Amino acid sequence: IELAPVTLLGPGARGERVELVQSMLGLYGYGIEISGTYDEWTETVVRSFQLHFRRHRTDGIVDAETFATLTALLERMPKLTLG
């Protein structure tokens, strides 16, 4: 799947891009509801992710660097095979 980079997402954002980031965080193991709304909990989860993987800036905003880091981590995860 080719993912278009997310340029900037923060509190109050809504829509498919937010759902994508929430889904990606969920796949990586963060407890997050996929609502499509960048709410307070989404911001907290993003801050937590940044604290672990990008300590130089933990602002809770999904910028290109945060998105690229999350994408790279997911690409390294073992693939699930069914059947």
What is the pLDDT at residue 64? Answer: 92
Which pTM value belongs to this model?
A: 0.86
Task: Return the residue matching tokens 């193991």.
Answer: 29
Cβ atoms of 37 and 22 closer than 8 Å: no
CA 52 to chain centre: 13
- pLDDT higher than threshold 70 for residue 4: no
Contact residues for 73 (Cβ-Cβ < 8 A; gap 6+): 28, 53
Residue 56 to residue 1: CA distance in whole angstroms: 29
Better-predicted residue by pLDDT, 28 or 7: 28
What is the pLDDT at residue 1? Answer: 46
pLDDT digits (tens, 9 = 90+) for 16-62: 999 999 999 999 999 999 999 999 999 999 999 999 999 999 999 99
